[in-house]
Amino acid sequence: MINVGIVGAAGYSGVELIKLLLNHPEVEIKKLFGHSTVGSKIEEVHTSLRNMISLEIEKFSSEAIKELDLIFVALPSGQSFEAVSSANQNGVKVIDIGGDFRLKNIDEYKKYYKHEHTAVELLEKSVYGLSEWNEKDISKADILSNPGCYPTSVLLALIPLVKYELIDETPISIVSYSGTSGAGKSLVQNMLFSEVNESVRAYKVGNHQHIPEIKQSLEMFGGKSQKFSFIPHLLPVTRGIYTTIHAEVKNNADEQMIEDAYYSCYKSKPFVRFLGQSVPEMKDVAHTNFCDIGFKLNENGTLVVFSTIDNLVKGAAGQAIQNMNIMFGLDQKTGLLAQHKKSTKE
């Protein structure tokens, strides 16, 4: 069994992790860590967990993790350095769901995340966990940085087009829409129900922290730099991300060439569902670890690609578990699809 702990267990991603890991046949949740909830039982903080798990939330310490094989860190940016450093010093593998170890350039980290990076020496050890594109390095990782939710939806849709040189070098447009859970549990006035209900708004235009992550990963996995604009929007729903990408095709690329690129990249990837020339819907990926991708090629050579994920699952906890499975040599689907649930004794 893999003995795991969760730092930030009472947050949205932390609770999603708990629910998914309870169905994992190779995992035992041993420790839950928090801050303002220390001393409370997790089922008291999140009553949806009643009769599912009963663990007291502890204050994080190096001593408390020594008997663990892995910790998940689900904390806001700028808050994961202590936990990741402690895990590394104690020989405990770590998956950071936040953004502190995604960017290799610390100047860009400071610019976009507004924090000083206090564990620079660990950046070289950190592996970027885009499961479908970095499996070899993930399998050897001790420190894994889980991708952001927006970048997951963007990169899975865009990398095949860049890799196979099917789109023009002119700037592409990326427009994404996210549910409110993507902002975490912090109490902010413009995230109140009465502020977001029956409305849609763009935010962090031109300075969203996921912009350098998308750029870095396109170069890493697509093999070249690609100019783009990225505009995120807030939707009045709880969970889900929907991304639309506009690009110009090159070299007279047609529908068949586009389909071949996606099939070549994802035919053996269990959590990418390529829908061809059908348009995906956000509701079809809710509470799953799937990314659904479709496209339309217009007569004028304009390509529109659609991608949708559940931001709390494929965009956070689910992809983290997918990466854990790769790190420990398990089938990627374990604990994430029905046939891999824990068996129950009669």
- Phi and psi torsions of 93, nearest 5°: -65, 155
pTM of the predicted structure, to 2 decimals: 0.93
**Under CATH, what is the fold of the domain 2-146+313-340?**
Rossmann fold (3.40.50)
Residue 158's alpha-carbon distances to 72, 76, 146, 161, in angstroms, are 28, 27, 18, 5
The CATH number that domain 149-309 falls under is: 3.30.360.10
CA–chain centroid gap for 145, Å, is 9
Residue spans in the chain of domains classed CATH 3.40.50.720: 2-146+313-340
Strand partners, 295: 305
Known catalytic residues are 149
Q: Which two tokens stand for residue 281?
A: 């819907």
Token look-up 């890991």 returns: 21
pLDDT value of position 341: 44
Cα 47 to Cα 283: distance, rounded to the nearest angstrom: 25
Residue 44's alpha-carbon distances to 29, 30, 54, 203, 299, in angstroms, are 17, 17, 9, 34, 57
Ranges of residues in the chain with a pLDDT under 50 are 340-346
Report yes or no: 173 and 246 within 8 Å, Cβ to Cβ.
yes
pLDDT value of position 132: 98
DSSP string for 122-187: GTTTEEE--TTT-HHHHTT-SEEEPPPHHHHHHHHHHHHHHHTT-B-SSPEEEEEEE-GGGG-S--
Helix/strand/coil for 193: helix
pLDDT value of position 185: 53
Strand partners, 222: none
pLDDT value of position 339: 55
CA–chain centroid gap for 226, Å, is 21
| Burial label, 251 (beta-carbon count in 10 A; 0-12, 13-18, 19+) | exposed
- Phi and psi torsions of 316, nearest 5°: -160, -95
pLDDT value of position 286: 97
Residue spans in the chain of domains classed CATH 3.30.360.10: 149-309
pLDDT tens digits, 277-312: 999 999 999 999 999 999 999 988 899 999 999 999
